[in-house]
Chains A and B, each alone.
Chain A
């Protein structure tokens, strides 16, 4: 398995197998975000494809010095989904009409998918909500604090505390995992 910086280099040299490898690595994470933003499977799938096309076309503008590849890709995905949500006509043109007649039936199982998993679930409700709004719903900090009906400063500290707790629980999991491994060995 190639390391990430080699993949990025290959991508920037126009090697489409690198895009394929990066897709395998990140499409699930990005689709998880897109589906929670769009709440509509065809729309999220279109946005995911669009995101990777933009990654392919604009990979020259990614600078590893400025941040991780995932952060860059996440921003593209988020903007793509926000555009699609603002301007859904594009989707209607490309999608079969039958999608919309089935929408009501398809919506039901999506609710489970949209539920957040992992260490996020161990957080207090307001911390979880704050992270969900900005990282999974695509809201800006300003939109999110209005949504939660708390002052912007309070909202920002929610995010800070939530992330801190998330790290703690994650490190705890790592330590426990390490101990478990030792114990097994």
Chain B
């Protein structure tokens, strides 16, 4: 425990004045200042010295510092309108509360609007994707049709009508042979439907030999077939599904000479 004499003579009081002491030293000096008349007197003198020196060496700050301080206080005052120590009710409090309430309501409204807008956006995006797909398909089929149209309308295309014989009297297929572009196109929609195990197949007769021109795929209206050089006739047979290496002559349904 510190002695009173120590505090008065060791310069501790001067250090205490400047806030230099910490912990128990600070507490002990503070205790003496509070309770001991002599220490209290000595401390008051030091305080008076400090203040007098400062006042004798005072420098007036520019007026703008006070103006800024007042401004700062004002902005702080409006920011802390809910300070409980204010006894008189502040009209700005009501204004601020109303604004806060309005903001709350409007942000909830905006939030729900935003949510539904987002849902709508998702729906529109989904529809757009579907439309995109449809368009792609349409463009593809348009391109295909255009191709067929060009092939059929080509002045060099020779139209060959393949009528069914006694085996398939109702069958009718149309071929378009173009020697210039070396291509063969078939319109096979007039051929009667076959069961799953069978397909129609097109053959070219070259010097008595039957050469494969391709299987006529089920369900397709227009087909590009293989062009065969020096073909004398076009022939359609019914073959096992997927086609055959050699024609089954017994099941020949149509034969046309070129």
Interface residues, chain A, CB within 8 Å of chain B? 13-14, 16, 19-20, 23, 27-33, 35-36, 44-45, 48-49, 52-53, 56, 65-68, 70-71, 74-75, 78-79, 113, 116-120, 131, 134-136, 140-141, 156-157, 159-160, 163, 166-167, 170
Contacts and interface: CB of A to CB of B under 8 A. Distances in A.
A13 B58 contact: no
B54 A70 contact: yes
Contacts of B68: 49
Contacts of A29: 51, 54-55, 57-58
Interface of B: 10-11, 14-15, 17-20, 30, 33-34, 43-62, 64-66, 68-70, 72-73, 77, 83, 85-86
B25 to A, nearest CB: 13
Interface of A is mostly: helix
Nearest to B10: A156
Contacts, number: 128
29 contacts: A20-B70, A27-B60, A29-B54, A29-B55, A31-B58, A32-B54, A32-B59, A33-B54, A33-B57, A44-B61, A45-B61, A45-B65, A49-B69, A53-B72, A66-B33, A68-B47, A70-B47, A70-B50, A78-B18, A119-B52, A120-B53, A131-B53, A134-B14, A140-B15, A141-B18, A156-B11, A159-B11, A163-B46, A167-B45
Contacts of B66: 20, 23, 27
Interface of B is mostly: helix
A39 to B, nearest CB: 12
A20 to B, nearest CB: 7
Nearest to A110: B59
A29 to B, nearest CB: 4
